[in-house]
Amino acid sequence: MLIQRSPDIRRSEITPKHLYLSRRSFLAALPMTGAALAAGAAPPDNKLSGIAKSPFSTTEKVTPYNDVTHYNNYYEFGTSKDQPASLAQKLKTSPWTVKVEGAVNKPQVFDIDAIMKMAPLEERIYRHRCVEAWSIVVPWIGFPLNALIKKVEPTEKAKFVAFQTVLDQRVMLSESAAGIPLPYVEGLRMDEAMHPLAILCVGMYGEALAKQDGAPVRLVVPWKYGFKSIKSIVKIKFVEKQPPTTWNLTNAREYGFYSNVNPEVDHPRWSQASERRLGEFFRRKTLMFNGYGDQVAQLYAGMDLRKNY
Ligand SMILES: Nc1nc2c(c(=O)[nH]1)N[C@H]1C(S)=C(S)[C@@H](COP(=O)(O)O)O[C@H]1N2
Ligand SMILES: [Mo]
């Protein structure tokens, strides 16, 4: 995410970093096959077992683990891409609970262990497109968000779902240092949240989530820009009105509520027509809904996607 205050600094960081990434992933990719092996250097050993492969996975080449875990947006732990990999290690992710409340018949507080067992875990290899025009392909592990939603029985008043990240001021940056209001918040319309492609994610590359990627539980919404995929969730609230979202609060002109990947709607300061995949040199065309249009376009039938960006 680029903050209004410092557009040029942020922009100029991107090219050298990508050259560096592409050299490393070339070396790492040589003798290996398969999602976990394509990961490059081995992730820490906290394997998740019994993970089914999902038919929703892309067959595109998985981005190396080291690139995905060292080029992060997690503003609470630094505004440059390499900072969360070290600074997020200070976050205490156990014990962990997620409070689910609002317009539901069965509000409850779930321990992270209950979330891990809520539904069969699947590996979903998804494309992930940041609004900053870089992308990655990640073997996430999780289950459809709709499994949790069904458990708490939303009432007819539940039109949107609001998500909130943990706020731990002992280890996180201040609001002024992070440049965003905290805690980080995001939201989905109810039908988006119920869509089978939207997952609660607890792992990556066969392992538990890395802290910089949102441990112990995050959202992954692959047809939307990456900032909708909120990390380290502690609260989920079902509400009647469209909830506030962090990047819209920070800069409403540049970031709307829907945030669907749309190559035809430029960001006010750069084109969204193409993207650079981490580890690759040449840019590729950005696809409508990040390539998930067949599955999700129907959700937005009749909406003006330029107005509802
Ligand atoms: N709490 C929190 N969640 C967040 C962010 C953040 O700064 N804080 N950044 C978002 C953005 S802009 C992107 S692109 C993705 C990046 O996820 P990744 O670092 O796992 O690739 O996380 C999203 N979720
Ligand atoms: Mo992003």
Residue-wise pLDDT tens for the chain (309 aa)? 555 443 333 433 343 344 334 444 444 443 333 444 444 555 667 899 999 999 999 999 999 999 999 999 999 999 999 999 999 999 999 999 999 999 999 999 999 999 999 999 999 999 999 999 999 999 999 999 999 999 999 999 999 999 999 999 999 999 999 999 999 999 999 999 999 999 999 999 999 999 999 999 999 999 999 999 999 999 999 999 999 999 999 999 999 999 999 999 999 999 999 999 999 999 999 999 999 999 999 999 999 999 999
Distance between CA atoms of residues 92 and 271, nearest Å: 38
Task: Find the 156 Cα to ligand 2 centroid distance in Å.
Answer: 32
What is the residue extent of each domain of the chain? 11-300
The closest residue, in CA terms, to atom 19 on ligand 1 is 72
**8 A C-beta contact, residue 114 and residue 217:** no
Coil, strand or helix: which one is 112?
helix
Task: Find the 130 Cα to ligand 1 centroid distance in Å.
Answer: 9
The model scores a pTM over 0.85:
yes
11-300 CATH: 3.90.420.10
The closest residue, in CA terms, to atom 7 on ligand 1 is 74
Q: Return the ligand number nearest the Cα of 230.
A: 1
Distance between CA atoms of residues 74 and 227, nearest Å: 9
Distance between CA atoms of residues 66 and 181, nearest Å: 29
The closest residue, in CA terms, to atom 16 on ligand 1 is 73
Distance between CA atoms of residues 146 and 151, nearest Å: 9
